[in-house]
Amino acid sequence: DGRCAVSCDAGYASCAGACVDTDTSPPHCGACGRACAENEVCSAGACRPDCADGTLACAGSCVDPLRDPRHCGGCGSACPAPERGSATCDGGCGVACDAGFVACGERCVDVSRDVLNCGACGNACATLDRGTPVCRAGQCEIACRSGYARCGDACVDTNSAVAHCGG
């Protein structure tokens, strides 16, 4: 038919008479004539924000993967938010607790009332037969069941225990 045609190598498309890589060409991103905005780059055939060094384009925004708890370590890698606190990212996931709460691992706890962290993280209150551990003002105590009284390190039935005024 006497017309000239452009023949492009594999991986390139003929756009307006030129061979272009539509995976990386901002004026032809993903297809001929599909241009990226001025503040975007073409990556893998999609327009993305042009992010500064050390940041990533995640969900249409540039984020610092070392500081953003929604993208900690990479896009979409969200840190879990604890009850009574918020998620943080400082190169890895962490927690920031609300006032009055302390970070014990990935949880925010009230060390003045938590029987597993009474007064400090990891300080679990001991249990006794016929009693329940209680943490009051950061101090472990035992609440004996109904019908039992605390005698030393035991909850006893004072009506029947000979050593404790019982029958």
Q: In 10 A of CB 155, how many CB atoms? A: 19
- State mean pLDDT over 98-114: 96
Above 80 in pLDDT, residue 165?
A: no
* Beta-carbon count within 10 A of 135 CB: 21
- Binned at pLDDT 50, 70 and 90, residue 167 comes out as very low
Structure tokens at 38: 């001025």
124-162 pLDDT, tens digit per residue, is 999 888 999 999 999 999 999 998 888 877 888 877 766
- The mean pLDDT of 18-25, rounded to a whole number, is 93
Radius of gyration of the chain (CA): 33
Virtual torsion, Cα 56, 12, 10, 6, nearest 10 deg: 180
Residues 59-96 pLDDT 10s: 778 899 999 999 999 999 999 999 999 999 999 999 99
pLDDT attached to residue 34: 94
If we measure between CA atoms, which residue out of 114, 68, 112, 76 comes closest to residue 93? 68
